[in-house]
Amino acid sequence: MSTHAIANPTLAEATLAPTSMWRKIPLGAVVVGLAFIALAFVFGDSKMESPEGPVASHTQFFYSYITSFMFWLSIALGSLFFVLIHHGTRAGWSTIVRRIAENWMMTLVVLAVLVVPVMLGIRDTYEWSHRLDGQDMMLDRKAPYLDVTFFIIRGIVCFACWVGFAVAMYRWSTRQDVTGDIQLTHKMRRWAPLGFILFAITLTIGSIDWMMTLQPHWYSTIFGVYYFAGCLMVSGAVFALSSMALQKSGKLEKEISIEHLHDLGKWSFAFLVFWSYIAVAQLLLIWYANIPEETVFYHNRVEGGWDKVSVVLALFHFVIPFWFMMSRHIKRRKVTLAISAIILIAAQYIDMFWLVQPNLAPMLAPAEGAEAVHHASHFAVHLSDLFAFLGIGGVVVGAYAWFTTRSAVAAVRDPRMAESLGFENQ
């Protein structure tokens, strides 16, 4: 425990001032974000081949949108899991940064609205959505699952679970700021195990539905775990940057110590390694089995310029941050930790781009049957990719800033706050 006792912040001390810059962010960020989404739609126009010749399509927009949507969703889901595991394990050290995670977790509310374009663009995005019976034996076998109505229902159920748990945990946590009721802590702890179970199921369903089925002939039994690892890695990086941003605005300058930032760095580092393990395990299993329906995933990512993206992903998602963050000194200095966080955030977006975008070509120029399996797009970055990232990001960041101003920036009356403020790494 620390020899320098820090008093628990009061509700007033942990509340942002009416003149704080944080209160100016939400409206502007959301308006700008919506404008960028509109621009992504305009610049995401493309041509799709059909028996009657090229026809107008917004397939490029939908692929750009899904790439960015899954990136921002990964931060929100990683935050939800952080809150659940905090309560489920009765963690103490993370109490002071838990409200930051809760505020990011609550962006699931706006992401539940932002998922609507994914649903509306099914026909322009997912090859399986317009396959005829008997045209492709493999897709015929998957038809009971790859059904448009069932696809939409699964998406609604996933977000109902995520938003339900996020809102419940947030309300109980912020209510405790006022009442100090310790029973609310016990209540959140009791509900956390159920949250783990539903989180594991729904995250797997969501990642498979919105990304893996973009290449419907391919399948991986650990795809959900792969996405899960990225969610937790990027969330720790975002928490570290968010903590520093709050301290820049004059809040939690002493309460969030280098000890807490060090642990957030260790959180990200741990799941960086876990992601790498899952990625290599998936690669080796597919390489060893050498089944065409599985190897096509990597085949499409080593041609048409995607081989370079694969190398960049390996460098930024493992090699560079692994060796850079291994030293505890890197994680205990704000500057170097911030650099590490930015690298990991960039790596997560590159990963989403690498998972989604190679599947674009079969939608623009559909092939028949098995020919479609080997048809991949050439690597390219479009304006719609940038606009979709800024657009969804603007709305999500605006929502995060709004929740940050709506309540105290820390769980001031949590019974484990004193333990958290006195935390030291051994």
Tens of pLDDT, residue by residue over 181-237, are 999 999 999 999 999 999 999 999 999 999 999 999 898 999 999 999 999 999 999
Name the residue type at position 411. A
pLDDT reported for residue 49: 52
With respect to residue 133, please indicate whether it lies within any of the assigned structural domains: yes
Q: End-to-end CA distance of the chain, in Å?
A: 9
User: Is the CA virtual torsion 341, 279, 300, 319 positive or negative?
Assistant: positive
With respect to residue 353, please indicate whether it lies within any of the assigned structural domains: yes
With respect to residue 6, please indicate whether it lies within any of the assigned structural domains: no
User: Half-sphere exposure (CA, 13 Å, Cβ side) for 143?
Assistant: 11
Neighbouring-strand partners of residue 47: 56
The CA distance from 179 to 189, in Å, is: 18
With respect to residue 9, please indicate whether it lies within any of the assigned structural domains: no
Neighbouring-strand partners of residue 48: 55
Q: Using alpha carbons only, what angle is made at residue 380 by residues 353 and 344, rounded to the nearest 5 degrees?
A: 30
pLDDT reported for residue 136: 79
Decide if 415 contacts 185 (C-beta within 8 A): yes
Locate 307 and state its tokens: 């081989």
With respect to residue 80, please indicate whether it lies within any of the assigned structural domains: yes
pTM of the prediction? 0.94
Contacts of 307 (CB under 8 A, 6+ apart): 301
pLDDT reported for residue 53: 47
Cα–Cα distances (Å) from 275 to 229, 267, 290, 307, 344, in that order, read 5, 12, 22, 20, 12
Contacts of 30 (CB under 8 A, 6+ apart): 394, 395, 398, 399
With respect to residue 154, please indicate whether it lies within any of the assigned structural domains: yes
Number of structural domains found in the chain: 1
The CA distance from 35 to 223, in Å, is: 33
Alpha helices in 9-58 (DSSP H): 25-43
With respect to residue 45, please indicate whether it lies within any of the assigned structural domains: yes
pLDDT reported for residue 374: 46
With respect to residue 216, please indicate whether it lies within any of the assigned structural domains: yes
Report DSSP state, residue 136: -
The residue segments making up the domain with residue 349 are 21-421
Alpha helices in 180-257 (DSSP H): 182-210, 223-248
For the chain, residues with pLDDT lower than 70 are: 1-5, 46-56, 132-134, 362-376
